[in-house]
Homo-oligomer: A and B are copies of this chain.
C-alpha cells in the first residue's frame, strides 16, 4: 500500500497544484436547477437534499479532477441531513476516488482509544461485519482534534499505516477565537507550538519516501508569523491550510506554510471555488465551469509563489 503522504505529494507534483477544494454543499446555494430536479424526484425531503448534494458534487468533481489533487468535503454539511446526508458524503467520496481525486474528510473527529479506533476503522479502514473486515466510508485522510492527547491519535495512525491513509491534526485554526486555547502561553511557547511538537512526535516514525509523515497538521493562514514557527516545529508534516479566499487569506499569506522548495502544504478553498458562479453573477448552469476557472486561477496564484 502506497504511503498517504507520498500519494498526496506525488499527485500535487503531477498537477503542479498544491490546492484542495472544500466541498461544503450548503443546500440553499446549490444552483436552483439542481435543487428543482431533486425536489421533483423526492419532494422537499432529506432524500432530496442528499440527491441535490450528490449531483452538485459530481458536476464539481467532473470539472475539477484534472486540476486539483484533492477535495475536502466538510462532513457537517452532509450529516446535518441525517443518514441521507451521510449517504451523500459516502457517494461523493466514491465518485471522487473513481476520478483519481484524493479525499480528505473534514470531520475533526476525536475520542479516547477504543472509540477513536471505531472512527478510524469507519472513516479510513475496515469495520468488523460479523467477523469480516469491510470498508464503509473509506476516505483517504481525515482531520482530527488533539485535545485528548496521543492515545486518541494512535488508533488512527495504526490504521493509516496499514491502509495507506493519513490524518491532519488541528494545530492552529483560522477563526477569531482560536487564541482562547491555541494562543495561550505555556512558559516561553504557545499552546499551538506545544501541540505542534506533539504532532511531530506522533508522526516521526511514519514518514514516507517523499519525506513527509502520514500525520499532517491543520494550520490556518491567518497568522503568517505563527505559521513560520509551526513550519519549523513540524518539518515532516504536510500542512492543510484553510483560510485562503473566502476566509480572507491570499497566496502571500499561505507562503510560510510551505517549505522553501514549495512542498509540504496543500491550501484549501471552499466557497470561493464551488460557489464562484454566484460571485461572478453567472447562471446556476455555469457553476461547474465557474468552479474550474476559479480553481485554475487559484493554481496560478499559488504557482507564482515558488
A195 within 8 A of B: yes
Q: Is the CB of B83 within 8 A of A84?
A: yes
Q: Is the CB of A113 within 8 A of B175?
A: yes
Q: Is the CB of A76 within 8 A of B122?
A: yes
A25 to nearest B CB, angstroms?
Answer: 10
A157 within 8 A of B: no
Q: List chain B residues, Cβ under 8 A from A185.
A: 186-187
A274 within 8 A of B: no
Q: Which of A53-84 contact B (CB under 8 A)?
A: 74, 76-77, 79-84
Minimum CB distance partner of A185 in chain B: B186
A300 within 8 A of B: no
Q: List chain B residues, Cβ under 8 A from A28.
A: 128, 131
B86, B113, B182: the one contacting A79 at CB < 8 Å is B86
Q: How far is the CA of A86 from the CA of B49 in the complex (A)?
A: 16
0 or 1 for each of A175-192: is its CB under 8 Å from B? (1 = yes): 111111110111100010
A137 within 8 A of B: yes
B24, B27, B49, B147: the one contacting A181 at CB < 8 Å is B147
What is the size category of the interface that chain A forms with chain B? Answer: 35 or more
A174 within 8 A of B: yes
0 or 1 for each of A94-127: is its CB under 8 Å from B? (1 = yes): 0000000000000011111101101101110001
**Knowing A74-B115, A86-B83, A111-B76 touch, does A129 contact B173 (C-beta < 8 A)?**
no
B46, B86, B108: the one contacting A129 at CB < 8 Å is B46
Q: How far is the CA of A134 from the CA of B113 in the complex (A)?
A: 35
Q: Is the CB of A175 within 8 A of B147?
A: no
Minimum CB distance partner of A150 in chain B: B177
Q: List chain B residues, Cβ under 8 A from A123.
A: 80
Q: How far is the CA of A85 from the CA of B27 in the complex (A)?
A: 23
Q: How far is the CA of A90 from the CA of B80 in the complex (A)?
A: 12
A39 within 8 A of B: yes
**Knowing A122-B82, A186-B185 touch, does A46 contact B136 (C-beta < 8 A)?**
yes
**Knowing A118-B76, A175-B149 touch, does A127 contact B44 (C-beta < 8 A)?**
no
Minimum CB distance partner of A177 in chain B: B149
Minimum CB distance partner of A127 in chain B: B80
Q: Is the CB of B186 within 8 A of A49?
A: no
Q: How far is the CA of A195 from the CA of B180 in the complex (A)?
A: 9
Q: List chain B residues, Cβ under 8 A from A77.
A: 115, 118
A93 to nearest B CB, angstroms?
Answer: 10
Q: List chain B residues, Cβ under 8 A from A24.
A: 115
